[in-house]
Amino acid sequence: MDEIIKNKIRDFLKEFKEIASRGRGIDVIPRSENNEHLAQLGLTKKNRNEEIMMLSIADYCKGPEPDKDKPGDVWIFGKQIGSKEVYIKLKIAQAGEEKIAKCISFHVANFPLCYPYKENRKGGDDK
């Protein structure tokens, strides 16, 4: 069962990154919390996008879960950036015929995150 879930995570990340690498990049929801935390983390928008593009199975927390606000599923990841744990919520959204790589949340975590596959990280085989 773990391998099936890992394959779903791997497939999501691969598709998300492929979409983000084309044309419009990562569409970040302009929430004040997201912007405030960028400064708190000492990151630029470019740094944030680089951090997202480096996500791997080891950074997975949970998902897919139905999006509460719009059709589709969201995926939750986390990452240690400096001394802070960062909560990252991603989605592949449909806009007409086009797929969009969306970052719904990118901020310091409000609670400790769980990483079910963190212990399996073995240098690059988990992307």
Confirm if 13 and 127 have CB atoms less than 8 A apart.
yes
Res. 77 pLDDT band, cuts 50 70 90:
very high
Is 127 within a domain? Answer: no
Quick check: helix, strand or coil at residue 82?
coil
Res. 66 pLDDT band, cuts 50 70 90:
very high
Provide the pLDDT for residue 126.
43
Is 89 within a domain? Answer: yes
d(CA 59, CA 56): 5
For residue 96, is pLDDT > 80? yes
Q: Which of 120, 118, 8, 7 is nearest to 63 (CA)?
A: 8
Q: Average pLDDT in the 24-50 region?
A: 87
Provide the pLDDT for residue 123.
43
Strand locations in 1-127 (E): 26-28, 60-66, 73-81, 84-95, 98-108
Provide the pLDDT for residue 52.
97
**CATH for 67:** 3.30.2310.40
Confirm if 11 and 5 have CB atoms less than 8 A apart.
no
In which domain, by residue range, is 88 found? 2-114
Is 70 within a domain? Answer: yes
Q: Average pLDDT in the 11-18 region?
A: 97
Is 121 within a domain? Answer: no
d(CA 82, CA 101): 25
Provide the pLDDT for residue 30.
82
Confirm if 78 and 86 have CB atoms less than 8 A apart.
yes
The DSSP letter of residue 48 is H
Please give the model's pTM, rounded to 2 decimal places.
Answer: 0.89
Tally of domains within the chain: 1
Is 53 within a domain? Answer: yes
Nearby residues of 28 by Cβ (< 8 Å), 6 or more positions away: 34, 45, 48, 102, 103, 106
Is 16 within a domain? Answer: yes
Q: Average pLDDT in the 2-12 region?
A: 94
